Chains A and B, each alone.
Chain A
Amino acid sequence: MYTFAMNPILERDILGYEDSLLLSVDETQRKELADECDALAHIFANAKGPISEEPMFFPFDVEQDTLREDIAVAPLSREEVLCNAPKTQEGQIKVPKVVR
C-alpha cells in the first residue's frame, strides 16, 4: 500500500500544468481541475492491497519491424506540405521567431 503525506492540489499547480501544456483554462475550470486532481490523488493513494503486478502499457506485446527495407516512394509535393499551414511565405511554413 502506498502511503505518503499528501499536499492538496492547488490552483497554482494547475497553472503549472497549463504552462507545460501551452494552454489556458478559465478560473472556474481551474478550480474544478484542482479538486479533480486532488480526488484522483486520494483515490490512488487509498487503492488498498499490495500491487505486485508490473505496470501494463499495452494489452499485448507489439512486434516492431523497425529494420524493414527502405522503399522508394514519391515524397509529398511542396503544395501538399503547405496546403494545411495557417501561414505560408515564399513557399515555406511561416512561424514566429524563436530567438528575439
Chain B
Amino acid sequence: MQCSEDAGRANQGTEGGAIMKYLSLPLTRIHEALVQKRVTPLQLVQEALCLAKEDTCHCFEILFEEDALAFAASLKEPEKENLLWGIPYAAKNNFAVKGVEVNGSSRILQGYHPLYNATVIKKLSASKAILIGMTSMDELALGGAGVSLLSGPIYNPYDPRHERMIGGSSAGSAAAVSAGIVPFALGSDTGDSVRKPASYGGVIGLKPTWGRISRYGLYPFAPSMDTVGFFARYVEDAAIVLEALSGRDERDFSSSKEKVDPYFLQCKTPLSQPRVLVIDDIVNGVKDKMVRESFERALHQMTEDGVEVAHVSFSRKSFSRDLKLLYPIYLVLSSAEAVSNDACLDGIKYGIDVDAENYRDLMRKARSAGFGKEAKRRFVLGAFAMSKEYHETVYMTAARIRHRIASTLNDLLIQYDFIIAPTSPSIAPRFDYPKKSLEENNNPADHHLILGNLAGLPSISLPLGYEEGMPFGINVMGRAFDESRLLSFALAFEKRSGLCSEYYGKKERQ
C-alpha cells in the first residue's frame, strides 16, 4: 500500500530498519515510540490521513486535514504519563466539534457547524489526542445497516468485494479502526450500534454503563439508552480511552457521580474465579455452526482457566417471552424518544434551506426533504406509540416490560459476574440480505445486545473467530459501573484467544 510505504520510509530505521505501521500497534507501544522520538505526532497523523484518503470503505464523511496536521505539528515534547498524547483518532459524525460541519449524516443538518465541543471531544483534545475526521454513520444514528444518507454504504474492510456491511449505526468508526486507519474511534450505542459493528469488523467495541461518559454534545437519539462508546483493537487501549472519557459532567445531568476507577491499571488484575452465565434462550438462536462451535470452544477454555460457567434456560417463564420482544420494545421506546429529540430539526434555525409561504409549510418541506426513509419510519412509529389511542397499550407496556427485563438482569448479576453470548448469530450480512418482518424478528440471538441498553449495563464485544474470512465476536455484559472487572475479564479472554495479534498477522498477509 503506497500510503504506508511512504509513511514507513519516513519512519525507516526506527525499529531495526523495518517499515513500521505504528497505527496498528497498541497505544502503549505507540506511546513508547513517541516518547523515544522514534516517531512524531505529525508522522502518525500523516500516516492516518494518507490511509483515510486511500480508504475505499467510505469510513469518513469529512477529514480535518489542516487542523489535524497543525495540531500534530504543535506537539513537540511528549508527555510521558499521557498515553493519548499525539494519538490520532476519529469520531462518529454525531459529536459536536466547534466550527466544523457535523451533520449526523443527514441532509437536514447539512451545513450545520456546532458552536461548542462535545465533552468527550474536549477531554481528548486536552489529552492531546488528535481528531482527524468525522466518520460515516446511519442518519442521526437511526439505523443498523451502516448506510449513510449522504455518502452511501460503509463497506466492511474484511470484504474486498464490498458486498458485506460492517453494520451501524457507528459504521465508519468501526471501519476506521478495523482498517487500521486510527487506533481508536468514538461511536454511540443505543441498541447495539457499537458492539455489533465491532463484531462484524473484528475489533473491540465497548458500551460503558449508561451515564459513565458524558453525553453533552452527542446528538441525542434516545437519551434513556444513548451511551457514548468506542472502538479499539486491544483491551488495554479500551481501558485507556475509557479512563480518559469517564466522569461526572455538570453539563450532563445524566452523567454519573460514581468514581472513575483507574481502568488501565485495574484491568491487568486477574479476577479470582469469575462466574459467567450463558442464557440458553439467546445462544440457542445461533444457527451458524462456526459461530456456535467457536463460542462453545471459548466456554471450554474459560472452564479450563478456572472460570465458573453456568447455563440457564427460561423456557416458559416471562423472561423467555420478553427476550423475543426485545426488538419491538427497543423500536417503540427509542422511536418515541427520537420523535421529541429530533423535533428541533425544522429547517429554520439551522440546516437545510427550503422556501415556503408559512412556517408550517416550511418545516414540513424541510423535514420531508431533510430526513431519509429510515428516520421517517422511526418518527412515525414513535408518534404512533405515543398517540392517545396507543400510548398505554404500546408505549407504557414496552416501558413496563423494560423494567421487568432490567430487574431480571440485575438479579442474575447478583449471583454471576457476567452474562456472555455470541455478539451476533452470524458474520456480517450482505447489504441485500432479506429483511424480516416485525413478527419474524423475534430471535433473541439477533437482539440480545439491546439488554445492555435497556438496563444501562456495560457491555463489550471482543473478536471470537472467523468464517469465510469474515470476523465475528463474543459479547460480555457486566454489572453497572463494574467496568474494571469487565475489562479484566476481557483482557484475560484476549490473551487466551490471541485474536488481536492474530488479526494483525492476518491483515499483514492480505
Among A24, A29, A86, the residue within 8 A (CB) of B353 is A86
Min distance, Cβ B343 to any Cβ of chain A, angstroms: 8
Name which residue of chain B comes closest to A25, CB basis.
Answer: B376
Min distance, Cβ A88 to any Cβ of chain B, angstroms: 11
* Contact across chains for A96 and B377 when beta carbons are under 8 A apart: no
Among B349, B359, B379, B454, the residue within 8 A (CB) of A84 is B349
Stretch at the interface among B280-288, B383-391, B461-469: B383-391
* Contact across chains for A21 and B379 when beta carbons are under 8 A apart: yes
- Rounded to whole angstroms, the CA-CA distance of A57 and B406 in the bound complex is 11
A-B contact pairs, 12 of them (CB 8 A): A22-B346, A22-B364, A43-B325, A43-B438, A44-B332, A48-B321, A54-B400, A54-B403, A56-B403, A60-B456, A96-B358, A96-B359
Min distance, Cβ B298 to any Cβ of chain A, angstroms: 28
Interface band, chain B:
35 or more
Q: Is B368 an interface residue (CB 8 A)?
A: yes
Among B111, B224, B407, the residue within 8 A (CB) of A57 is B224
* Contact across chains for A36 and B393 when beta carbons are under 8 A apart: no
* Contact across chains for B381 and A84 when beta carbons are under 8 A apart: no
Contacts of A80 in B (CB 8 A): 115
Q: Which secondary structure dominates where chain A touches chain B?
A: loop
- Rounded to whole angstroms, the CA-CA distance of A55 and B336 in the bound complex is 14
* Contact across chains for A29 and B401 when beta carbons are under 8 A apart: no
Given the interface pairs A55-B400, A56-B406, A86-B350, the reply to whether A43 lies near B439 with Cβ below 8 Å is: yes
Contacts of A33 in B (CB 8 A): 377, 380-381
Q: Is A97 an interface residue (CB 8 A)?
A: yes
Contacts of B112 in A (CB 8 A): 84
Contacts from B to A (Cβ < 8 Å):
111-113, 115, 210-211, 224-225, 250, 253-254, 256-257, 318, 321, 325, 328, 331-332, 339, 346-354, 356-364, 367-368, 371, 373, 376-377, 379-381, 383-385, 387, 390, 393-394, 396-404, 406-407, 437-439, 454-457, 480
Min distance, Cβ A68 to any Cβ of chain B, angstroms: 7
Contacts of B393 in A (CB 8 A): 2, 4, 41, 44-45
* Contact across chains for B376 and A85 when beta carbons are under 8 A apart: no
Min distance, Cβ B503 to any Cβ of chain A, angstroms: 33
Contacts of A23 in B (CB 8 A): 364, 367-368, 371, 376, 379
Q: Is A64 an interface residue (CB 8 A)?
A: yes
Min distance, Cβ B370 to any Cβ of chain A, angstroms: 8
* Contact across chains for A85 and B346 when beta carbons are under 8 A apart: no
* Contact across chains for A14 and B380 when beta carbons are under 8 A apart: yes
* Contact across chains for B353 and A44 when beta carbons are under 8 A apart: no
Min distance, Cβ B320 to any Cβ of chain A, angstroms: 11
Min distance, Cβ A82 to any Cβ of chain B, angstroms: 10
Beyond the given A18-B380, A60-B211, could you list 14 further A-B residue pairs with CB under 8 A, ordered by the A residue number?
A: A21-B383, A33-B377, A39-B438, A41-B394, A43-B438, A51-B400, A58-B224, A59-B224, A59-B406, A84-B111, A86-B111, A86-B348, A93-B349, A96-B359
- Rounded to whole angstroms, the CA-CA distance of A55 and B456 in the bound complex is 15
Name which residue of chain B comes closest to A13, CB basis.
Answer: B384
Name which residue of chain B comes closest to A84, CB basis.
Answer: B350
Given the interface pairs A29-B376, A59-B224, A60-B211, the reply to whether A39 lies near B381 with Cβ below 8 Å is: no
- Rounded to whole angstroms, the CA-CA distance of A68 and B406 in the bound complex is 32
- Rounded to whole angstroms, the CA-CA distance of A84 and B108 in the bound complex is 12
- Rounded to whole angstroms, the CA-CA distance of A4 and B367 in the bound complex is 35
Given the interface pairs A39-B439, A49-B321, A86-B351, the reply to whether A57 lies near B399 with Cβ below 8 Å is: yes
Q: Which positions 73-90 of chain A face chain B at CB distance < 8 Å?
A: 76, 80, 83-87
Per-residue CB proximity of A1-26 to B under 8 Å, as 1/0?
Answer: 01010000100011001101111110
Most buried by B among A14, A36, A44: A44
Name which residue of chain A comes closest to B453, CB basis.
Answer: A59
Q: Is A72 an interface residue (CB 8 A)?
A: no
- Rounded to whole angstroms, the CA-CA distance of A76 and B356 in the bound complex is 29
Q: Is A53 an interface residue (CB 8 A)?
A: yes
Contacts of B394 in A (CB 8 A): 40-41, 44
- Rounded to whole angstroms, the CA-CA distance of A47 and B397 in the bound complex is 8
